[in-house]
């Protein structure tokens, strides 16, 4: 065989062998997608509308609380005195309304009738004396006035209370009841409750501390409301699925992964920088991905985070709008 023909064949075989070796020994692609982002959180500031002196603190920072669970109790003794006084005022006003609606008692009507009868008898007697010239007209006129006054008093007692009197008494009772409801609502503010389930981030109070009205006493990280917003390049978007498991790490706790899960993939791509819109730079398109993280007291909003997404099944669709 011609030596010149052997050399190219040997080189071709060597190249083919090298390619086969590289194919067999090539490194496996990394199954982990690493993305950088910032922790975001939704917290609730809770406090009292009235404030007061702290009587008891029921939880500590870092505790997991349920919705409606008591957090802080204020001393209620002064407000309880106002409540007792107002309850008595309501009962007094209610009794006044009942008396107005019922009208005068039968004894009062009977007494008014007797007084009228006595005035009428006296008028008749003085009329006879005036006609006989024994007394003056002025004395007789006085008896007439007394008789008419007693007669009108009797009629008023027999008719009972007017509609205006009843309406006034009812309005007075409503006013006192609303005042009682206002104090009762303030009494409820003596105990600060958790408005939602979550983790207590801040609560720095001790029994005896004074807290002003409308001032927050605790900060609660709502359950499921801690996440990291990351941006995935378009070529890597096929590796991300809603429901995909994730591990979140922060610089403050190196080597400690916090569990998470992909909750949202935005439908609209974004450019980096935003003013780049040429066809040649389509690879610079990114999709926002929201990774929910299990709440933990160590994680704070604003922390830089590294998200590792493990390849694995998620929601079949793989896309979701904003929740």
> For the segment 41-87, what is each residue's pLDDT rounded down to a tens digit?
888 899 999 999 999 999 999 898 999 999 999 999 999 999 999 99
Say what the pLDDT of residue 322 is: 41
CB atoms within 10 A of CB 254: 7
Say what the pLDDT of residue 154 is: 80
Residue position matching structure tokens 């001032």 = 215
Say what the pLDDT of residue 302 is: 83
DSSP class of residue 162 equals -
CB atoms within 10 A of CB 288: 17
Each residue's pLDDT tens digit, 89-102 = 999 999 999 988 88
Report yes or no: 147 and 122 within 8 Å, Cβ to Cβ: yes
Say what the pLDDT of residue 214 is: 92
* Residues forming a β-bridge with 289: 230, 265
- Flag whether pLDDT at 124 surpasses 80: yes
> Residue 77: which H helix or E strand, with range?
helix 77-102
Region of poorest pLDDT, from 52-56, 121-125, 298-302, 311-315: 311-315
Tell me the DSSP string of 205-252: --TT-EE-TT-EEEEEEEEEEEEEEEEEEGGGGGG--TT-EEEEEETT
> What CA–CA distances, in Å, run from 120 to 69, 135, 304?
74, 17, 100
Alpha helices in 160-256 (DSSP H): 163-188
User: How many Å apart are CA 204 and CA 222, to the nearest integer?
Assistant: 19
Each residue's pLDDT tens digit, 102-119 = 877 777 778 888 898 888
Say what the pLDDT of residue 312 is: 57
pTM comes to 0.59
Please state the length of the chain. 323
Percent share of the chain, pLDDT over 70: 82
Each residue's pLDDT tens digit, 192-212 = 999 988 889 899 999 999 999
> What CA–CA distances, in Å, run from 37 to 255, 312, 323?
17, 21, 19
Give the domains, in start order, of the chain with CATH numbers. Answer: 24-45+218-310 (2.40.30.170), 47-74+189-217 (2.40.50.100), 80-186 (no CATH)
- Flag whether pLDDT at 278 surpasses 60: no
Q: How far apart, in Å, do the first and last CA atoms of the chain sit?
A: 75
Each residue's pLDDT tens digit, 218-275 = 999 887 688 898 988 888 888 899 999 999 999 889 889 999 999 989 888 776 644 4
């Amino acid at each position: 065989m011609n030596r010149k023909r052997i050399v190219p064949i040997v080189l071709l075989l060597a190249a083919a062998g090298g390619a086969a070796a590289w194919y067999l020994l090539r490194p496996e692609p990394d199954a982990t997608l690493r993305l950088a982002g910032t922790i975001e959180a939704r917290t609730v500031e809770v406090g009292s509308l009235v404030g007061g002196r702290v009587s008891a603190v029921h939880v500590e920072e870092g505790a997991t609380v349920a919705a409606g669970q008591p957090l802080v109790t204020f001393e209620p003794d002064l407000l309880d005195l106002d409540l007792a006084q107002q309850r008595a005022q309501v009962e007094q006003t209610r009794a006044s309304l009942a008396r107005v609606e019922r009208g005068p008692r039968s004894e009062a009507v009977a007494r008014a009738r007797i007084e009228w009868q006595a005035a009428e008898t006296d008028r008749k007697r003085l009329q006879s004396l005036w006609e006989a010239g024994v007394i003056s007209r002025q004395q007789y006129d006085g008896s007439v006035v007394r008789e008419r006054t007693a007669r009108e008093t009797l009629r008023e007692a027999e008719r009972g209370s007017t509609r205006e009197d009843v309406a006034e008494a009812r309005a007075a009772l409503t006013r006192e009841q609303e005042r009682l409801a206002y104090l009762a609502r303030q009494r409820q503010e003596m105990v600060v409750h958790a408005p939602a389930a979550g983790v207590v981030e801040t609560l720095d109070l001790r029994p005896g501390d004074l807290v002003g009205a409308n001032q927050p006493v605790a900060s609660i990280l709502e359950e499921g409301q801690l996440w990291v917003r990351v941006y995935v390049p378009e070529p890597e978007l096929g590796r991300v699925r809603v429901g995909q498991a994730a591990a979140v790490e922060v610089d403050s706790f190196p080597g400690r992964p916090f569990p998470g899960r992909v909750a949202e993939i935005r439908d609209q791509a974004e450019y980096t920088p935003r003013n780049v819109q040429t066809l040649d730079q389509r690879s610079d398109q990114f999709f926002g991905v929201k990774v929910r993280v299990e709440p933990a007291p160590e994680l704070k909003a604003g922390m830089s985070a590294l998200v590792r997404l493990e390849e694995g099944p998620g929601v079949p669709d793989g896309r979701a709008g904003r929740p």
